[in-house]
Amino acid sequence: MRKVWQAPNQAGLPESTVYLLRDGKVYRSLALGNGNWSKVFNDLPKFAPDGREYAYTVSEQTVPGFTLLSITGSSGTGFVITNRARVLNVYFVDWNGTILRHEQTAYGGGVTPPEDPSRAGHLFAEWIGNYTGVTRDEYVRALYQRLPDNALTTGGFTIVNAAVPMTGGRVSNYGDCLQ
């Protein structure tokens, strides 16, 4: 019995439980994992008490994030079970529904968000949604904060006219501080 994975990252693959079926009923099971993807079902009786030959097959417990591609072989030649990592989609969506980026990742993987988007009269705040440890298709949306009407955005900085001098006073700008 051998297990084959079609996954971009072979490190940290999940444990797999394989069932040996004798005449269609579970007869034994094996746990495969921790890098040991090959085991043998030993001491299998070939014939039933009535003299007929047993039919052995295998099945596998569903592995989260993977699709069972095939089970090949036989009890005589050995079974090979092949699983493929499911590919999941992550969409980064702007305020108006425009898809800014579409990325794909394997189950449990993650993607890098695009550069922070811009929107007139608003300041980008954060991405809302899951784009790390992905276990389903995800839509991640841009969240913005509305700027006051008197805000000035220049050179990547936003300045809000918040200081009002009293009669006879003055406002001085020292670097990024207002006094």
**Band of residue 155 on the pLDDT scale cut at 50, 70, 90:** low
Classify residue 62: in a domain, yes or no.
yes
Q: How far apart are CA 92 and CA 145, in angstroms?
A: 18
DSSP 46: S
Q: What is the pLDDT of residues 52-86, one digit of tens each?
A: 999 999 999 999 889 999 999 998 889 999 999 88
Q: What is the pLDDT of residue 157?
A: 52
Classify residue 142: in a domain, yes or no.
yes
Higher pLDDT, 149 or 33: 33
Q: What is the pLDDT of residue 167?
A: 59
Percent pLDDT > 90 in the chain is 63
Class of residue 176 by CB neighbours under 10 A (exposed 0-12, middle 13-18, buried 19+): exposed
Indicate if 92 and 137 belong to the same structural domain: yes
Q: How far apart are CA 108 and CA 13, in angstroms?
A: 10
Contacts of 145 (CB under 8 A, 6+ apart): 122, 123, 125
Residue with tokens 């040996």, as numbered in its chain: 20
Q: How far apart are CA 84 and CA 61, in angstroms?
A: 14
**Band of residue 178 on the pLDDT scale cut at 50, 70, 90:** very low
Domain boundary among 70, 85, 100: 85
Indicate if 61 and 132 belong to the same structural domain: no
Domain that holds residue 60: 2-85
Q: How far apart are CA 50 and CA 146, in angstroms?
A: 81
Choice among 18-27, 87-96, 166-175 with the minimum mean pLDDT: 166-175
Task: Quote the pTM value.
Answer: 0.60
Which CATH number does the domain housing residue 150 bear? Answer: 2.60.40.4270
Q: What is the pLDDT of residues 99-151, one digit of tens each?
A: 999 999 988 889 999 999 999 999 999 999 999 989 899 999 999 999 987 76
Indicate if 98 and 156 belong to the same structural domain: yes
Average pLDDT, the chain: 86
Q: How far apart are CA 29 and CA 13, in angstroms?
A: 19
